[in-house]
Amino acid sequence: MPSENEPIPFIKFFNKSGEPLVRVPLSIASLLETNSTFDEYNHIIDFINTLPEMEKAIENQLLQSSIFKNLVYNQYMAVYNSIVHLTANILQLSDVIDALKISSSIATLVLNLPSELMARIPIPNIAKEHWKDRNEAMLNNNEYGYIFYLLISNYAPKFTELYSFNLESLLEANCLPTSKELLDLVLKNFESIKSEFQEAKCLNAYFENLSDEGIEILKLRGIDGTGFSTEKIITDKLFNPDLIFSDTDFDLVGFNLGEVMKSPPENLTMENRYSFMDLMNSKLNEFFSIRGL
């Protein structure tokens, strides 16, 4: 049931005649899809930048036209484009590539932002007028789409002075620590999370590995994802994921979860290890589903 204590920000789209087209929440899913969409286009942009100047100009124009048609003005892609529209409107951007890049940077920052810092972020007057007490509720509930809106709204006056994105200026405008201080705090939070899994050996090993991988990728990509690109991380073999394929050649067996969790992964049979990983994957999928991912 909808609750006044758990409000969710939505964004509405209309056609040029003012008729409603679609309404979508500013959710974690939107932030993640903004990142993945920019990552996909960024590979194309990097290739275009290697071309001679005349060809580069032509290909950039073709790319922008393709993005407008297939992404930005496609009502069926609202989850993918809502954050980009919000960014372009608030920062008054006309270049879709800039809007994608800035949106992805801020979305990554929001997803990495420790919850204890949310209360520091100022609430703009226009939000106070429209949403009143719901502002505090969305802050307290860590509504990440709302946090994105706050960050970009508070930063807009500084951005429009130079029309050049700067992470440190955005953080300052939102009463947040510097990017280096933020990264240090996030890394400390990682260590705190890891300590919670010490009791269960198998669970600890599983999530400790995920945490260690997350730490390494965070250091490579940076707090706002503008460090090493995903392509470079993979092609330069800076990170090699542990893969388990679902097309197994053995029969899955029932197992005692309590006993398995007490055992280090190296002491498990292949069947038990796969069963355990499959269980963890299903639980994570359940969590993602609840969070709207």
In three-state secondary structure terms, 27 is: coil
Residue 157: what pLDDT?
A: 94
Residue 232: what pLDDT?
A: 82
Residue 249: what pLDDT?
A: 59
If we measure between CA atoms, which residue out of 253, 248, 231, 181 comes closest to residue 45? Answer: 231
Q: Is the pLDDT assigned to residue 250 strictly greater than 70?
A: no
pTM here? 0.81
Structure tokens, 177: 């620590």
Lowest-confidence region among 35-39, 166-170, 193-197 = 193-197
Q: How far is CA 264 from CA 169, 184, 185, 273, 279, in A?
A: 46, 30, 29, 10, 16
Alpha carbon 292 to its chain centroid, in Å, reads 13
- pLDDT, mean over the chain: 85
If we measure between CA atoms, which residue out of 132, 124, 105 comes closest to residue 39? Answer: 105
Residue 99: what pLDDT?
A: 93
pLDDT in tens, 44-74: 888 898 899 889 989 988 988 898 888 888 8
Residue 202: what pLDDT?
A: 62
Lowest-confidence region among 31-35, 160-164, 224-228, 275-279 = 275-279
If we measure between CA atoms, which residue out of 107, 124, 167, 116 comes closest to residue 142? Answer: 116
Domain map (residue ranges) of the chain: 1-176
Between CA 20 and CA 12 the distance in angstroms is 7
Q: Residue for token digits 């073999």?
A: 237
pLDDT in tens, 134-154: 998 898 888 999 999 999 999
DSSP annotation of 70 reads: I
Question: Would you tell me the crossing angle of helices 28-48 and 96-112 to the nearest 10 degrees?
Answer: 130
Give me the amino acid identity at 221: R
In three-state secondary structure terms, 262 is: coil
DSSP annotation of 73 reads: T
Between CA 268 and CA 242 the distance in angstroms is 17
Residue 203: what pLDDT?
A: 63
Between CA 109 and CA 144 the distance in angstroms is 10
